[in-house]
Chains A and B, each alone.
Chain A
Amino acid sequence: MKLVAQVLGYGQTPFGRAEDKTLADLAAQAAQEALESAGVAADILQAIFVGTYAGVALGRQGFLAAVVASRLGAAGVPVMAAEGACASGTLAFHQAVAAIEAGVHDVMLVVGAEKMTSASTAEVTSVLASATDTASGSYRAGLTFPGFFALLARRYLHEYGVDADQLADVSVKNRSHGAHNPYAHFQKSITREQALNARQVAEPLRLFDCSPISDGAAAVVVASREWAQAHGAVDAVRVLATGLASGPVSAEALDSFVSLPAVVKAAGSAFARAGVTPAEVDVAEVHDCFSVAEWIALEDLGLFERGAAAPATSDGVTHVGGGRCTVNPSGGLLSKGHPVGATGVAQLIEIVRQLRGESHNQVPSADVGLAHNVGGTGGLAAITLLAPA
């Protein structure tokens, strides 16, 4: 029989520029805070899973999982690293959940971390752009990730007759949410005019449509329900289900530019396994690496009909207190920042906070939460559904 995995505690560094900290410093700080939050000593961990994408290329630190174990004084504990581009953190979390559900381990630590700001913007853009099939025509033509999501945005606006100015409503919402999040890279609201007057990055996406380059780390302690009960854990959050799928790894491999098939498949799998429907989701953290990505995510997840996410966002439906599923109460990647390997774990932390009633942007009576983490051109999608234990 499959065991139930629970999140017992979490830790997170502030996201942003951490000039005085290395990748290992950040990862160890978040890990230590997660262990203290869960009341779990490092030496009783049965495994540590770490998600990072560019540890070597940007963070100048390989071998991060073993380094984290060493920093925690947990040398000897089995370690594993997961790389799934921007979904690396959730990929590590899903492997830990699978190990719990299979009865392989009872208590584990999951860490996601990235150190990016010490590299130039051009270097970061180049490293991130390689999260695709580098033999593809789009990569050879010089397609960047802002460019990729701009391709999606152009088509979305065309297919649904949406005004390009409505893209600003996503970033204005998420910046307003992030203004209340002390861990966010940007903690200041912006106006619609500021968003619309910002410089172009990849048309039709402007500066505030793009998530920033950030440093940061996030960590959670995961255990089986039986282990948690035996050790007196309180305020645990249950993993209802995970869904993981791979998908097209270049722009030209997509059949549609308004949907990422890996998300549809992973979400379908997660909802089926959890026995809940999209309509039951009260709060969602979705991968808004670019503003248009939030619209497409909400539709691929089944939270909104095709073409309905843009007007719903403009109408305020997805704001905290908007009356339906609240989207990105943490501020999302647009405001919170996007230290790639840490992003997925930080999304899970916000959902755990919501389900415990301790978020800075608390959604009343949140019973079901969803985290949506995507890697590359939708080459990997990792969906997690959570509920109070």
Chain B
Amino acid sequence: MTATVTTFTIIHIGSQGPEATPYAVVVAQTDEGGSVAARADGDLSWLAIGQPVRIVQGADGASAHCASNSVATQ
């Protein structure tokens, strides 16, 4: 699913606990209409409002992950 970032945040809560690495939650407008929320990890420097992203469903069919367009097309 392709989408465009509507807004995002990088969450630092618990950076001394189990969530040792900050992660991003992204809300994106999908090309099918409506919004979807997803998580992104790792290098988050590409995140910006208006950035095209690809939403990848997790193996459990419920969770969603967000990858930058450049990463997703590699």
Contact = CB atoms under 8 A, between A and B. Distances in A.
A231 interface: no
B12 A155 contact: no
Contacts of B14: 122, 125
Contact of B7 (A144, A154, A253): A154
B6 A155 contact: yes
Given A136-B37, A154-B7, A251-B27, A141 B64 contact: yes
B58 to A, nearest CB: 8
Interface residues of A, number: 33
Given A137-B64, A155-B6, A142 B27 contact: no
B6 A146 contact: no
B25 A142 contact: yes
B11 A142 contact: yes
Interface residues of B, number: 25
Interface in A189-209: 199-205
Given A142-B23, A151-B7, A151-B25, A137 B12 contact: no
B12 A141 contact: no
Contacts of A204: 9
A70 to B, nearest CB: 38
A311 to B, nearest CB: 21
Given A137-B36, A138-B37, A141-B39, A201 B12 contact: yes
A252 interface: yes
Nearest to B60: A140
A238 to B, nearest CB: 41
Contacts of A158: 7, 49
B13 A151 contact: no
16 contacts: A137-B37, A138-B27, A138-B37, A140-B62, A141-B37, A142-B19, A142-B39, A147-B11, A200-B12, A201-B11, A202-B13, A205-B9, A251-B25, A252-B27, A252-B34, A253-B35
Interface of A: 121-122, 125, 136-138, 140-144, 146-147, 150-155, 158, 199-205, 250-254, 257
Given A137-B37, A251-B25, 11 more contacts: A122-B18, A140-B63, A141-B63, A141-B64, A142-B25, A142-B39, A151-B8, A202-B13, A251-B27, A253-B35, A257-B27
